Amino acid sequence: MSAALAATGTARKAAPDRLVVARPGRPGLVTVLRLAAGGGRADRVRIALTAVGAAAAVVALLAAATVAATGADDGPYTSALLNEPGLHPGVVAALVLLCVPVLTFTGQCARIGAPARDRRLATLRLIGATPADVRRIAGAETALAAALGALAGLGAYLLGRALLGTPVIATRSVQREVPLENGDLQFIIESVTGPALQLPTDVLPSWQVIVLGVVAVPLGAGIAGQLALRRVALTPFGLVRAARVRPVRLIPLVAFLAGTAGMAVFSGIIRLLEPPASAAPAIALLFLLLFLLSVTGLIMGTAALASMIGGIVAPRTGRPALLIAARRLRAAPHDASRANAAVLTVVMVAAAVQGYRENLLLATANNTSDVYASGTYLASLALLIGGIVAALGLLVGAVESVLTRRRTLAALVAAGTPTAVLRRAVLLEVLLPLTPAILVSTAAGALAARGLFGTTVQTSGEVVMAEGPVVPVTMIEVPVPWMELGTVAGLALTLTALLTLAVMPLLTRAVDATELRTT
């Protein structure tokens, strides 16, 4: 040790009462939680909706884990889909996918009351909290809400098991194997009436899986909350988001077109290449990648679409509502794409499921088992739920959009703008980019199904009877399920329009003249 350093050390020891700048302390967990939960009404709404979203995600995850744990010896169940272990991976995938719109909805909810929360956090900085403290508080709010929701979700799951655990008398199809004299097997489908469970309430995943499901959601939410603030300058004068003015790119559109075109010709190319059976997993992975490319391109391309629509319409229209909507799309196209992402994903998957359903039902037209019909029915039901949740996210986005602009809107009304004009502007802002995007995503989903499953199917023939096999194989052209696709697109548009209309009473209140008082 040098003499100088030794002297310094001596001096420190010799002067214990000198001013020492201590390492600043960190607020304890209780303080952080109190500050996180100490907001106003908008904060409480945000926390409640985050909890609801987390609860729904946990229920979906635990349901998926339950189906995954269900074996051939469990049951029987009223749903043929649950009685066929081979179909369980599809059910599990559908339940996990259901988490996507749920989590997107939760992400949209995080925007509720954001300006007020930003001011609150800025005040904390003003009174001495460090940026890290503020991030912890913001992250704690999300994680706390999600943790409460996750526990509620676990409770709902266990309660559901108890309530739905009583068997009911149901008629179900059972496939039985009968050996023939020539050594072949004959499959006979019989109807059996007896007690069966509605859901796999007789199966409980391992406790490790349950804990993982319950912990993963709040943990993910907390990390997402931290990530959301990573580009935010947490100053005592307010939270300044380092929002880059992101130019709208055409690359997403190219990705969407490439992905969709690839899916549309997929089975044709695979037939030409005649790959060995061992390549099946790679082929499935390739298709999945094309699907993801298409979905991602569509979602990100919605911003380009919104901007393009705004750019075309705004300079030409003389209608005030259309002008306001188009200019807003042009100015903030990413707002529209964020809100629409989950809806478009659900629509694309739903359209693909309808296409698949058409193939499946034709191919199994002679099969008396209801397993295929009930499978596609359940998938459609799951997608409808996902669609409703996704549309609710859209509603939350519209509410936040109105609330953050309420002073400008109130000033417009004060200047004589009829509220009806603003109502139309809000509706157009949602529907202008969403209508073509829904039509395009429906078409892409249908193309994906036809590309993967082909445009012709081979019938499975008739059920083999004891007198001898009668299996006339025929090739049938699969028609485009226009009605079903129209229903998917129509439902999505109607749902989003209705939910946007639900914002209108709020708009009427938001433009109240009291917003204009300065003194």
Residues at the contact surface with other proteins, assessed by CB under 8 A: 314, 316-320, 323-324, 327-328, 330-332, 407-408, 411-418, 421, 513-514, 516-519
* Under 8 Å between Cβ of 361 and 371: no
Nearer to other proteins, 269 or 414 (CB): 414
In sequence order, the 6+-apart residues with CB closer than 8 A to the CB of 77 are 83, 172, 196, 197, 198, 199, 200
In whole angstroms, the minimum distance from the beta carbon of 332 to other proteins comes to 7
Please report which helix (H) or strand (E) contains residue 219, including its range: helix 207-228
Least distance from C-beta 421 to other proteins, angstroms? 7
* Distance of closest approach, residue 72 Cβ to other proteins, in angstroms: 60
- Tell me whether residue 331 or residue 381 sits nearer to other proteins (CB atom): 331
* Dihedral angle of Cα 491, 494, 496, 501, to the nearest 10 degrees: -160
Please give the C-alpha separations between residue 358 and each of 181, 441, 446, 454, in angstroms, as whole numbers: 37, 18, 10, 11
**Looking at the chain, how many residues does it have?**
519
Residue among 89 and 315 whose Cβ is closer to other proteins:
315
CB of 329 to other proteins, least distance (A): 9
Compute the chain's Rg from CA coordinates: 29
Looking at the Cβ atoms of 163 and 243, the one nearer to other proteins is 243
Q: Is there a contact between 340 and 439 (Cβ–Cβ < 8 Å)?
A: no
CB of 66 to other proteins, least distance (A): 48
Contacts 24+ apart (CB under 8 A), 360-363: 362/457, 362/459, 362/476, 362/478, 363/457, 363/458, 363/459, 363/460
Cβ(175)–Cβ(187) below 8 Å: yes
Which of residues 330 and 338 has its CB atom nearest to other proteins in the complex? Answer: 330
> What minimum distance in Å lies between the beta carbon of 408 and other proteins?
5
Nearer to other proteins, 122 or 413 (CB): 413
Which of 165, 217, 221, 169 has the alpha carbon at shortest distance from 193?
Answer: 169
Q: How far is the CB of 405 from other proteins (least distance, A)?
A: 8
3-state class (DSSP) for residue 259 = helix
Nearer to other proteins, 333 or 393 (CB): 333
Q: Work out the burial of residue 40: count CB atoms within 10 Å of its CB; fewer than 13 is exposed, 13-18 middle, 19 or more buried.
A: exposed
Nearest alpha-carbon partner for 120 in 180, 39, 190, 194: 39
Residue 332's identity, in one-letter code, is: A
The helix/strand/coil state of 254 is: helix
Based on CB atoms, which residue is closest to other proteins, 117 or 327?
Answer: 327
Share in percent of the chain as helix, strand, coil (round to 5): 70, 10, 25
CB of 411 to other proteins, least distance (A): 4
193 or 514: CB nearest other proteins: 514
- Cα separation of 360 and 346, whole Å? 20
Residue closer to other proteins, measured from CB, 108 or 401: 401
Cα 287 to Cα 14, 97, 261, 450, distances in angstroms: 74, 17, 11, 12
Q: How far is the CB of 109 from other proteins (least distance, A)?
A: 24
β-strands 475-477, 456-458: how paired? Answer: antiparallel
User: From the CB of 430, what's the least distance to other proteins, in Å?
Assistant: 15
